[in-house]
């Protein structure tokens, strides 16, 4: 996650809110939750996350040899799971970075002849902040939670849709570079898509989901009151999956991840989901953000619980997720 340094001294301050926003599942649901029989495997989640957060990748800083290894890994993942390149190759070169750097972009075409013209974007950033300078001891910022965890979740969703072919809409799977440099990867890509008249329905960006929260909902969404996405996800899962986190609103996290680049250009529902709540993980942008601290059963459950929601987003006959004016 980009630029939270100035917030960290205040993360344990009390946050009062009188928000009337309700996080419970609506009693007036219009959609019966889809039953998903597909099972996400803990060993697959662990395998992807372990490699992406390994010392071999040296913290995946944009423009380095470490993130190049991550790029190759993600390209191979798409190939193995029959996710096609969206462009000529999986690599989308950033237009706003001084050295060669790449988003990794794959697509699964929708199965419906009409709905396939609309796109859902599932995304996460695969870069991190690299190696500490002028420091002894552990100098590699492995970025397991930030955001190898989100990348792992999106990868598992790509595998799911590839195997089940349950998406009537087309799905763009994007792993962004340059997020930690100022959302550069998403800013670059969104301009190319806009020039193509890309028909975006919604974007769901996944950011830091490696550790669970001690709350009565699974995760929170950024920009909770900007659209009905949280309500619809809860309707689709039949659970209290997404809640309102006061600190998210206080720190305006909606503007601090790659969802904002898409919202800024398309003005469609584009939001991030996270379980980092400023209380459950103390190693943000720290060398101790490592695989061994990640909760694999939680991550597996997170992905599994969201599968009915992303399925419904990709299959609903009308665009049920809308902006709130």
| Residue 1 pLDDT level (bands cut at 50, 70, 90) | low
The residues near 180 (Cβ < 8 Å, ≥ 6 apart) are: 2, 61, 62, 125, 127, 128, 129
Mean pLDDT of the chain: 92
Please choose, from the candidates 257, 309, 261, 8, the residue with its C-alpha nearest in 3D space to the C-alpha of residue 146: 257
User: How are beta strands 119-125 and 102-108 bridged, if at all?
Assistant: unpaired
Q: Is 57 left (phi over 0), alpha (psi -120 to 50) or beta?
A: alpha
Contact 222, 274 (CB under 8 A): yes
Contacts of 22 (CB under 8 A, 6+ apart): none
% the chain with pLDDT above 90: 87
CA distances from 188 to 34, 251, 298 (A): 35, 25, 33
Strand partners, 204: 122, 271
Instruction: Give yes or no for residue 250 having a pLDDT over 90.
Output: yes
Lowest mean pLDDT among 17-26, 73-82, 83-92, 180-189: 17-26
Is the pLDDT at 64 greater than 70? The verdict is yes
pLDDT of residue 30: 59
Complete domains list, the chain, with CATH: 25-315 (3.40.630.10)
Residue 16 pLDDT exceeds 70? no
Query: Does pLDDT of 17 surpass 50?
Result: no
Is the pLDDT confidence value at 147 over 70?
yes
SS (H, E, C) 103-150: EEEEEECCCCCCHHHCEEEEEEECCECCECCCCCCCCECCCHHHHHHH
- On the CB side of 162, how many CA atoms lie within 13 Å of its CA? 18
In contact, 278 and 245? CB cutoff 8 Å: no
CA dihedral 314, 320, 322, 325 (to 10 degrees): 180
Q: What integer is the mean pLDDT of 63-77? A: 98
Encode burial over 246-283: b for 16+ CB neighbours within 10 A, e otherwise: bbbbebebbbbbbbbbbbebbebbbbbbbbbbbeebeb
- Please report the pLDDT score of residue 18 as a whole number: 36
Predicted confidence at residue 136, as pLDDT, reads 76
What is the reported pLDDT for 91? 98
Closest CA to 208 of 112, 143, 291, 135: 143
Averaged pLDDT, 100-112: 98
What is the rounded CA–CA span in Å between residue 307 and residue 90?
24
Residue 11 has pLDDT above 60, yes or no: no
pLDDT for 2:
62
Q: How would you class 11 by CB atoms within 10 Å of its CB: exposed for 0-12, middle for 13-18, buried for 19 or more?
A: middle
Instruction: Give the pLDDT confidence score for residue 325 in this predicted structure.
Output: 81
Mean of pLDDT values over 177-195: 98
Q: How many CB atoms lie within 10 A of CB 292?
A: 9
Banded model confidence at residue 45, pLDDT cuts 50, 70, 90: very high
Q: Rounded distance, CA 179 to CA 184, Å? A: 6
The answer to which of 22-26, 162-166, 223-227 has the lowest mean pLDDT is 22-26
**What sections of the chain are H helices per DSSP?**
42-52, 65-80, 149-164, 184-195, 229-237, 246-250, 259-266, 296-315
Rounded to whole angstroms, the maximal C-alpha distance in the chain is 58
CB neighbour burial string for 142-155, b if at least 16 within 10 angstroms, e if fewer: bbbbbbbbbbbbbb
Average pLDDT on 306-317 reads: 98
Per-residue confidence band for 32, with pLDDT thresholds at 50, 70 and 90: confident
For residue 145, say if its preceding peptide bond is cis, omega within 30 degrees of 0. Answer: no
Q: What is the pLDDT of residues 274-291, one digit of tens each?
A: 999 999 999 999 999 999
Q: How far is CA 259 from each of CA 26, 69, 70, 78, rounded to the nearest angstrom? A: 25, 25, 21, 22
């Amino acid at each position: 996650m980009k630029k939270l340094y100035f917030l960290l001294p205040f993360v344990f301050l009390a946050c009062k809110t009188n928000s009337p926003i309700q996080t419970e599942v609506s009693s007036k649901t219009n959609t019966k939750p889809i039953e998903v029989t597909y099972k996400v495997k803990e060993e697959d989640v662990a395998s992807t996350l372990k490699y992406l957060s390994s010392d071999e990748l040296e913290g995946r800083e944009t423009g380095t040899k470490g993130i190049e290894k991550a790029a190759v890994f993600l390209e191979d993942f798409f190939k193995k799971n029959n996710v096609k390149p969206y462009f000529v190759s999986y690599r989308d070169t950033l237009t706003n970075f001084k050295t060669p750097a790449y988003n990794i972009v794959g697509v699964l075409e929708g199965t419906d002849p009409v709905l396939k013209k609309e796109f859902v974007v599932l995304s996460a950033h695969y870069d991190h902040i690299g190696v500490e300078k002028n420091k002894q001891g552990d100098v590699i910022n492995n970025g397991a939670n930030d955001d190898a965890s989100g990348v792992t979740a999106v990868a598992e969703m790509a595998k799911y849709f590839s195997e089940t072919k349950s998406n009537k809409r087309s799905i763009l799977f994007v792993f962004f570079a340059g997020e930690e440099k100022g959302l550069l990867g998403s800013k670059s890509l969104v301009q190319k898509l806009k020039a193509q008249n890309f028909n975006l329905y919604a974007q769901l960006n996944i950011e830091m989901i490696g550790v669970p929260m001690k709350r009565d909902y699974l995760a929170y969404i950024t920009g909770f009151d900007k659209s009905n996405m949280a309500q619809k996800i809860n309707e689709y899962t039949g659970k209290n999956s997404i809640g309102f986190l006061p600190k998210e609103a206080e720190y305006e996290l909606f503007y601090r991840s790659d969802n904002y680049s898409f919202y800024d250009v398309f003005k469609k529902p584009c939001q991030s989901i996270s379980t980092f709540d400023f209380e459950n993980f103390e190693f943000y942008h720290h060398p101790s953000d490592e695989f061994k601290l990640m909760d694999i059963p939680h991550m597996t459950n997170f992905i599994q619980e969201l599968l009915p929601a992303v399925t419904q987003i990709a299959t609903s006959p009308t665009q049920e997720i809308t902006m709130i004016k």
